[in-house]
Each structure stands twice: as structure tokens, then as C-alpha cells.
Amino acid sequence: MKQTVLHSEHLKLDAKMVDFGGWHMPINYGSQLDEHHQVRRDAGMFDVSHMTVVDLHGGGVRSFVKYLLSNNIDKLTAAGKALYTCMLNKEGGIIDDLIIYYMSHDSFRMVVNAAMREQDLAWIRQQAAGHDVDIKERDDLAMIAVQGPNARVKAHTALGAEATAKCKGLKPFSALNHKGIFIARTGYTGEDGYEIMVPNAEAPALWQALLDNGVKACGLGARDTLRLEAGMNLYGSDMDEGVTPLASGLAWVVAFEPAERDFIGRRALETQRAQADHDLLVGLVLEGRGVLRNHQKIFANGKCVGKITSGSFSPTLGHSIALARVGRNIKDHCEVDMRGKLVTVRIVKPPFVRHGKSCLA
Amino acid sequence: MSDIPTQLKYTKNHEWVETLEDDTVRVGITDHAQDLLGDMVFIELPEVGDDVSAGDECAVVESVKAASDVYSPLSGEITAVNTDIAESPEIVNQSPYENGWLFELKPYAPAEFDDLLDADAYNELAETDDH
């Protein structure tokens, strides 16, 4: 199994380690629930070094990423700004979701899912043929996500005075470079914080400095319940190559305007949008006992109308929540087959939790 | 390495059985089971007075990760349930053999005790489970 440069740090903290898409990663360091609350209430950190960082560079890079991605990087008006987007195939299916950072006039950085590394790199290289763009995987970088209401303040102490001075004015969804460390005010938890990319050799010292400043190590278990509460999709569960952004709650990452921008998947999405009969990704809330689980079937008027794509317990709300793909006419309530029993759940629009507070009416 | 007290009996479904002074038995899930399941969030218990047969599903422990049925290790009548854990499921994680017990029953068929595992046999089973 592959190991990140922080692997021995996890073992030192007695983490419960699992096979996570071929990586030996911490699922928790004792209690997933405690780690979840730590991020909602204070500050926690995740080793996300398994994620794939890809730098794109060259005279043709702007026109290339405008063609490659569903969202439009022309929205990024200043260096350091970040954009969430999908990368689609010609049928409009989602090859991956990713964050792209505008580094300079001729360079962009993308962070893609670890499990999709090979497919993504092959696809990007294939599409780049004929474009003046150089593609470089940055496996020399580790990544630590520091998240929570106190995450930035605690990270500042760990990063030092000079970095703090630069980071203080950093806006959400923006990033900067400081002496080879890339600090982005982004995340996957619905809390404020940073995702910090750091040269492999410096990662253990930064990890330790964050621990020393009261940032607790959190595993991928808590990362999953945090992102679900925040209504953020997980690739491979809530979306894959067989579904489009329109059927995944991600219409907002498809920039149909300007009409003359040709991007991969555009024609298929225009057809789907015009037909307007596709499924939708919705939020489900179960206020009673029990936990909604992935793949459970959804019923309305006795008919199966969809299934849960991500279900879990929401530690912040104290009951179960889920994302589900259902027929577009399903409104307000539906039933879920939970271990052989049909249970009524409420349909809501995600997110469920933002900045520590419930978003539910 | 999980904790497996030698004075208890076990089932292959990861329940433990403790014989109490009045010949009723107390049942819970093992340290190994709670560790595999992770943080508990809901627990469904049988009702006092229920008749159960050995192997019946009679409780559900549900963690952040998964729901798991608990099977009665013996046939008998449920005489008590631990209402504390219904309120605070994390007790099962914190104290699987003491405060985290699930229910007590009055066994009908003492011969069924012979089907239970001792600590050594359960240890062997838990270890193979890990790999």
C-alpha cells in the first residue's frame, strides 16, 4: 500500500489505519465523533497528501483549461483565486471533480481525487494534444487541511510571523505562495481554514507544529461526515462517469455562458438541460432513530424512485442525513427502505450544516 | 489487541455472556466488536418480558459506520435492559464489558451454555477476523 510522508506521524498517534483506495490512511485516531466535533468547534487537521496535485504550464494553458473543464476559469480574475469544477467526458459524465487555482498568466494548479489519479492524468494528457501546455504531477508536495473556526489562527502560529502577515488578508477560495509553501483558504468541511501544500521534507515538521498549537489530528472518517453535513459531493459515491453535473447538484459548476466557449461535454449537457427530465441530487433528513446508508432505495407512492448516494449520521445535528439521487418530481417527503422497513424522510436542499450551525428549517 | 476477559463466555457473533448470582445472564458486545464498528450512535434494545431463542436478532447496535444485529446467545426471557446506553450509546464504546451491557435474560435451556466459547476460543476467532 502507498504511504504519505506523514504515515509515521499517524502511527505515532495510534491511528486506526485502513486501505483507502490503495493508500494506508488514518480513518480515525480514536473517535470519529470527537474528531468531527473538534473541527466544528475548534480546529482539526487531515493528512490529504494522497490527493493528486497537477501543475499546468504554458502559453496555451488558458485556452486548454477552458476547453477541459465545465466551469470557466475566466471567472478567476486575480492570481491565487480558486474555482471548483468538474472535468467531463463527451457524454457529460463526470470524470472527476477538482479545484483549480490560477497561479499566473501561464500556469494553473489542479487538485484531483487520489483514486482517479491515473484516469485523470491520462485524460488530461490525451486532451492536451495540440495545446501548448506542459503537465506536471507534483508528488513532491504533501498536503495538510487545517479546518475549523479556530483553524486559521492556530495555523498562523504554526506557520510563523512572516507567513501570518501574508495570510491574514487571504480571502475565502484564494491562495498564496510563501517560500515554497502553498496556502489556500479552501476545504472540504464547511468550516473556515486552509489547505496547505508543503514540500514532502517539510511536512512532518509542519504537522508537529500544528499539533503543538492545539490542532488535533482527524481521520478520513470525520472528513466524510463533515463534507456530507456541508452538502459536498464525494466522487465515486455521489457522482461518477455515468452521471452529469446537472443530475449531481452541480449545475452551478457548469458555465454555459459565454455560449461560444466550447468545453468537453457541453453539447450533451445542453441536450440534457433542454429535455429537463433528468434526476436530481437532493438532501434527506431522518429525524428519528436509525442511520441512512449508501445504496438504500427510495420509494414514493410504492414505486422505487432513486437511491441514497451518501448516507451517515450527522454528529452536529444528532440524527441521520443523506444525499440521494431521485426523480425530479419527488418533493417534500419520500420513503427509504432501511433494513427492510420503509421509513419516511424529509427532502431538503443541502447543505445541512455550515460554520457549525444547522441550515435546516 | 482487544480486551477479552477470561471469566466471560462468548459467541462467534461477538456477544459476551456473564452469569450473574441469581442465575440470570447479562449480555453485551465485545471490545473487538465495538472497535470494529466504531462510534455508536443508536442502540435498539429488546423489551423486558420478551421471549427470545438462541440466535434470534434481539437488539441492533448502530455506529457511524454500520448497523449490526445483536443475536441472543441463549434462549430465555428478557429480564432487564440497559436504558443508559439507549440515551448515551458511546458508553458501549467506552465500557463494553461493564457499563455498556445490553440486556439480561433468564435462560430456559442450560444445555445451550455448552455452545458458548471460552476466552481462548474467542480470542482465536477475533484474531482471524483481523486478517
Report DSSP letters for A187-205, one per residue.
-SSSS-EEEEEEEGGGHHH
In this model, does residue B131 exceed pLDDT 60?
no
Tell me the pLDDT tens digit for each residue of B27-51: 999 999 999 999 999 999 999 999 9
Cα A184-A189-A195 angle, rounded to 5 deg: 20
Residue type, B19: T
Return the SS3 of A166.
helix
Cα separation of A105 and A33, whole Å?
Answer: 43
Q: Which residues of A touch B41 (CB under 8 A)?
A: 33, 291, 313
List the strands of the sheet with B40-44, edge to edge: B40-44, B57-63, B67-71
User: What is the pLDDT at residue B129?
Assistant: 74
User: What is the pLDDT at residue B1?
Assistant: 63
Angle of helix A32-41 relative to helix A220-229, nearest 10 degrees? 50
Task: State the greatest distance between any 2 C-alpha atoms of chain A, in Å, as a whole number.
Answer: 62
- Closest in A31, A289, A315 to B42, CB measured: A289
CB atoms within 10 A of CB B23: 9
Q: Exposed (0-12), middle (13-18) or buried (19+): which is A106, by Cβ within 10 Å?
A: middle
Cα separation of A177 and A192, whole Å?
Answer: 19
Cα separation of A266 and A252, whole Å?
Answer: 14
Cα separation of A354 and A83, whole Å?
Answer: 19
From A292, A296, A318, select the one nearest A307 (Cα to Cα): A296
Q: Which helix (H) or strand (E) holds A162?
A: helix A161-167
Query: B10-109 belongs to which CATH class?
Result: mainly beta
Residue type, A156: H
Whether the bond between B107 and the residue before it is cis, its omega within 30 degrees of 0, is: no
From A280, A302, A295, A272, select the one nearest A348 (Cα to Cα): A280
Q: How far is B43 from chain A (nearest CA, A)?
A: 9
How far is C-alpha A151 from the geometric centre of its chain's CA atoms? 18
User: What is the pLDDT at residue B127?
Assistant: 87
Q: How far is A144 from chain B (nearest CA, A)?
A: 24
- B42 and A312: CB-CB below 8 Å? no
Q: Exposed (0-12), middle (13-18) or buried (19+): which is A285, by Cβ within 10 Å?
A: middle
Q: Which residues of B touch A221 (CB under 8 A)?
A: 38, 64-65
Residue A134 in contact with residue A285, Cβ under 8 Å?
no
Q: How far is B42 from chain A (nearest CA, A)?
A: 6
Cα separation of A112 and A177, whole Å?
Answer: 19
- Closest in B38, B42, B44 to A32, CB measured: B38
Cα separation of B41 and A348, whole Å?
Answer: 22
User: What is the pLDDT at residue B130?
Assistant: 65
| DSSP bridge pairs for B18 | B26
Under 8 Å CB-to-CB from B34, ≥6 apart: which residues? B40, B92, B93, B96, B100
Q: Which residues of B touch A291 (CB under 8 A)?
A: 41-42, 62, 64, 67
What superfamily in CATH does domain A279-358 come from? Aminomethyltransferase beta-barrel domains (2.40.30.110)
User: What is the pLDDT at residue A136?
Assistant: 98
Is the pTM of the predicted complex or chain greater than 0.90?
yes
Annotated domain spans of chain A: 1-274, 279-358
Cα separation of A239 and A267, whole Å?
Answer: 19
- B41 and A28: CB-CB below 8 Å? no
User: What is the pLDDT at residue B2?
Assistant: 83
CATH code given to domain A1-274: 3.30.1360.120
User: What is the pLDDT at residue A86?
Assistant: 98
- A221 and B42: CB-CB below 8 Å? no
- Closest in A28, A291, A293 to B41, CB measured: A291
Cα separation of A244 and A66, whole Å?
Answer: 18
Which residue of A lies nearest to B41 if distances are taken between CA atoms?
A313
Cell of A234: 464525494
- Closest in A33, A289, A339 to B64, CB measured: A33
- B38 and A313: CB-CB below 8 Å? no
Cα separation of A316 and A228, whole Å?
Answer: 11
- B64 and A339: CB-CB below 8 Å? no
Cell of A92: 457529460
- Closest in B44, B64, B90 to A221, CB measured: B64
Q: Which residues of A touch B42 (CB under 8 A)?
A: 289-291, 313
For chain A, which residues score pLDDT lower than 70?
Answer: none
